[in-house]
Each structure stands twice: as structure tokens, then as C-alpha cells.
Amino acid sequence: MPAAVGPERVYGLELAGEDDAFAAREAACAATAVESVAPGLATARGVDPDRLRTLAYTHRASRLLGRCDAAIDAARALVDAAAVDRTGTVAVRARDVRGTAGVDTRRAERELGSALVGRGFDVELDHPDHELRACFAGDTCLVGWLVAESVRDYGDRRPTDRPFFQPGSMAPLDARAFVNLAGAEPGATILDPMCGTGGTLIEAGLVGARPVGIDAQRKMVRGARENCRAYLDGDVHALRGDATALPLVDDAVDGVVFDAPYGRQSKIARHTLADLVSGALAEAARVAPRAVVVADRSWVEAAERAGWIVERTFERRVHRSLTRHVHLLAR
């Protein structure tokens, strides 16, 4: 039987990628009470549409009519029974998320479209006034009106297409997720004390934050500035410095994000890798209330010694020889 949504607004989220726990955590940057309910799907009690458009690992949010079993007849019954508070033209889009429900999505679109036509709507597939989405996953279906979609323009900023490129640069999709988790939003200041070619600075700037970058290598600082100028308007704040001795006052920024060196010594010759990361963690705790640290290993103990509370960790496989450890830290 379908479960209709009550007067409180509830939203369905279509998650991206394969790591639903990570995607749901990033979705919480733009939504409240996020809960995974099926493969690739989550619900939320509130959504900021503008903020959701900047997320990396959420595709869409819909205001739910309800939740039901992953069967076309159940979805049709839900639409027939639901209160509808809008008029105009509609289009119906159905998804079998990750192929987990075994549903004929074309038939689902026909059935739900027929139900809406029976309620006085006209179907317009190209430029509808409203889009009804039916997402089937596992044994669950979420049906709702589309309210926001994320902007999927990451292919325009591939590291190899930037003016300055170095091997090992992070993909913009992941950089966006990490800066979001670090608190990037309009008006916030986000610091990357190991900014490299500036990928995190670009993504922080594109969501409206003020990015600040520091790197030990002069050529990286120059390259980060060049890359930022290619994608961002306004001043670029990147300077040469030591992540273990930041030229910033206490509580100078809203969040810190950095990608620690992978399996090699730091380019700052006087630091071992352990000293570099430990020192950077301590300095990050001095200048910001939250941080996201990405590395090829766990730095949980070092983070705790530096005074951080480790809120959550994720292990995200990049390829056969690299798994990223993502640490979400709060002071």
C-alpha cells in the first residue's frame, strides 16, 4: 500500500555515485534529516534548492507525494490518491535506480501520465510546467515533484584542461564534495593549506565561498592562481607558506580542507610526512572550527591528538592501488 506524505514537507533525494553514506552526508549540507531509504535514494525534511544545485553527489530533490512499494500499480495508486496543489502541463520521468527494482520505466511513465491526465493535466514532454519523478530502487518507490537539480558541469573543469596541470590533481567532482563538507557556502571562507593546483579553491569559489590557498611550492602557488583566474571572478588569495605554521590569526576561516601527500615525503624538506600532517592538523584546529582531511591512510589518531573530534570517516576507492580516507573533523 502507498504511504502518502502528510502536511509536513518531505523530499526525495536522488543520490549520485555508489557510496550512499557519503552522498547522504554531503546532501546534509543542503537538507535536513537526511535518511537513506533505498539504493541511491534518500529522504529529507527540508531542502535549500539553491544550495542543492551546488552538491556533487546529489542529482535531484523532489517534493514527495509519497513513498510506496517498487511496483507500477502501487505508484499509480499513490498518484491517484495524493492531493495535488498545482496546475499546468506535466511530464513524468521514471527511473530504475541502478537497475535494482526491475521496473519497466516506460510503462511507469505511461501509467502515471495517464493518472495525471485523468486529473486534468496536459502532458508536455519538452518544456513542462512541472515534472513528476518516480524513482524505483530495491523494494521502494519515491514519487514527487521535482524542485531542484544539481549542476553537472564538472567535465568543463577537468584537471588536464586547466591552464596549469600536475599529475595527481583531484577530480572536480570530489573537490566539490570535500569543500561542501568543509562548510563552503556564500559568505564563508575556506582554506586549503596544501592547495596544489587549486582544484579545491576553484570549487569553493564556484559555490560562493571565499577561497584561500597556501602551498609550500612557489610554482604551485603560481599555478593555483592561474587556474583560479580561469574559472573565478575577483581576487585570488593564494600564497606560499607552511601548512604547519599558517600566517593566519586564530579562528580566521570557516573551514579547512586539504589533500595530504600520498605515500611520499612532503615537498617541505624539513618535515616528514607524519610531522607535516600532524602539524597541519594542529594549525587547522587553531584557525577553523571544522575540517575535511583527505589522505591515503587513516590520520584519526593524529587528528585527535591535535584536538579534533572525528565526526565521521569514509573510505572511498579511487582505483586498485588507491583508497582515499576522508576525515570529517569538528573542534
Give residue-wise pLDDT tens across range 147-202: 999 999 999 999 999 999 999 899 999 999 999 999 999 999 999 999 999 999 99
Residue 73 pLDDT more than 60?
yes
Query: With respect to CATH, is domain 11-149 assigned 3.30.2130.30?
Result: yes
Structure confidence by residue, pLDDT tens digits, 275-315: 999 999 999 999 999 999 999 999 999 999 999 999 999 99
The conformation of residue 270, written as its DSSP 8-state character, comes to T
* Residue 43 near residue 20 (C-beta atoms within 8 A): no
Average confidence (pLDDT) over 140-150: 98
| Sequence ranges of the domains in the chain | 11-149, 159-330
| Residue 272 CB partners (closer than 8 Å, separation 6+) | 265, 266
Rounded Cα distance between 34 and 51, Å, is 15
Say what the pLDDT of residue 289 is.
98
Q: Is 47 helix (H, G, I), strand (E, B) or coil?
A: strand
Average confidence (pLDDT) over 99-111: 98
Class (C level, CATH) for 159-330: alpha beta
DSSP for 65-81, written as a single string: EEEEESSHHHHHHHHHH
